[in-house]
Structure formats: structure tokens, C-alpha cells
Amino acid sequence: MTMLSGIRTINVTRYVTPLREGGSLPAIAEGDDGFLYALKFRGAGQGVKALVAEFIGGAIAKALQLKVPEIVFANLDEAFGRTEPDEEIQDLLKSSQGLNIALHYLSGAITFDPAVSEIDPMLASKIVWLDGLLMNMDRTPRNTNMLMWHKELWLIDHGACLYFHHHWDSWKTQKDSAFPLIKDHVLLKAAAALTEADEWARQLLSEDMIREMVDSLPETWLLYEETGSDASLARQVYKDFLIHRLQHSHLFLKQAIHARSAAI
């Protein structure tokens, strides 16, 4: 299987500008390949767990043939950022030395607005299904985390997925969550083909794919205190969590169908 074998690693050569204010302080940065990227830092508020969620969320979205900007590992070396005049950004760069994550910057893209763009029901259903699987609480009308680029819908920012890992011991109970927060999903009303999307997604996404995705995570991101810095144990928890939710997708599917019925 070669789905993840082509992940590139770039070296960040220039910090261009912050993307938006907030605790995570993502930025537009330039790589040594000459391209611009939306860069998320391991030294930001949620730490490496947000990078893990970003990677897994983007990888599963791609496996489901949804549009996601290219994901790369982004290396910050020790010297990077020494000339940055903003002290807060300089501290962020210092604490983010090593591997970070970045997505190819979609120049000219505009934020998805459900009042402007009509989305195909099957596409909407696939995205709702994805976010039910990942327990993504951050695809709401207030913050859609989707872009329109060249008349196509692109998914960005999966850092809020898999939030069980911020309360590590909860994973065994969270894996069976119906995810009631799906009621706030920006595409829920448009998602008129949820049952079909479930069948489609379960045909595309395999347990072996999930294992490969998790095995592709950098070991340095997985040295959690909760696992005694045992990266292999952390990997196994992510695999068990995601495979269980895939096998029992009826749990969040029923919740999404019920929430949609209540909303329309």
C-alpha cells in the first residue's frame, strides 16, 4: 500500500505571517522547496497532540477521497527564528524545534460559507461521517474549517479531532461515543445521504489503512507522559480507538441521522 509512502519532509526557511490570532498561532511559512505552507507548531497550546490529530484527520479524509491540501512534515532547525522580532512568536519557534506539520497553502481560497455555496448531499454526508468517526467538534457554522478553492470544497484543520487524547484514560469509554456534538455540524442539514455515505466509507477505509496511518506518525510526537513515553503503546491506543469506531460506525451514524431529523 502506498497511500502514505509519499509524505515529504521540508525544512522551513521563512516565517511569513500568522494565519490568525489565537492559542495555536498557526502561520504561513515558506519551505526549502519554494512553496508556501500553513504551518502548525508543536510548541503551541495543544502541543504535539494537535499535530497527531491533524495528521490522522487529514490522512483519513484523503483515504475517503475528500479534498485535503498536501500534508508534509515541516522541520524547524535550531537557528530558525532567531531574528524574529516578536517575542511571543520567537518563543513559539524555539519551542517547536524539530518536526512540525504543515499543509500546502491554497493561495486565493475563500472560507466556505453555507449561505453562498450549495454542497452535494453525498459530499456533505461523507464529511459528516468523517467528523463523526474522528469526533471532530470543530466544523461548525462559526468555524467551518473548510475552504472553496477552484470551485471545490477543501477540508482543513483537523487539530480538534480525537479529543480523547487530552484525557488519555478516557479512550476506552470515548471509543463508543455516539458523538452528540454532531448536531452542531455546519453540513448536517445538507447531509441527506448518511446511510449511503456510511456504506461507501466502510468500503474505502480499511483497518490496514488505519494501522499504516498511525505507524506513519513520527515517534517524537508520541512520547506522552500518560504512556510513560512509550510510543508503541500510544500507537496501539490510536489504532484500537479508530478501528473500533470504524467497526461500530452505526453508533455515530444513528446519532447524526437523529440530529439531522431534529434540525430540519
* pTM of the model as a whole: 0.94
What's the pLDDT at 181?
A: 97
C-alpha cell at 13: 526557511
pLDDT tens digits, the chain, 264 residues: what are they? 334 557 899 999 998 888 865 556 789 999 999 999 999 999 988 899 999 999 999 999 999 999 999 999 999 988 776 677 778 888 888 889 999 999 999 999 999 999 999 999 999 999 999 999 999 999 999 999 999 999 999 999 999 999 999 999 999 999 999 999 999 999 999 999 999 999 999 999 999 999 999 999 999 999 999 999 999 999 999 999 999 999 999 999 999 999 999 998
SS3 breakdown of the chain: % helix, strand, coil, rounded to 5?
40, 15, 40
What's the pLDDT at 24?
A: 64
C-alpha cell at 52: 497527531
CB 178 within 8 A of CB 255: yes
Q: Left if phi > 0, otherwise alpha if psi is -120 to 50, otherwise beta: which for 33?
A: alpha
Dihedral sign of CA atoms 256, 161, 206, 4 in order: positive
Query: What CA–CA distance (Å, rounded) separates 61 from 71?
Result: 11
Q: Give me the half-sphere count of Cα atoms (radius 13 Å) on the Cβ side of residue 104.
A: 13
What's the pLDDT at 3?
A: 45
| DSSP class of 249 | T
| DSSP class of 140 | B
| DSSP class of 143 | B
Q: Left if phi > 0, otherwise alpha if psi is -120 to 50, otherwise beta: which for 22?
A: left
What's the pLDDT at 1?
A: 32
Domain chopping of the chain, boundaries? 9-104, 110-263
What's the pLDDT at 23?
A: 54
Burial of 206 (0-12, 13-18, 19+ CB in 10 A): middle
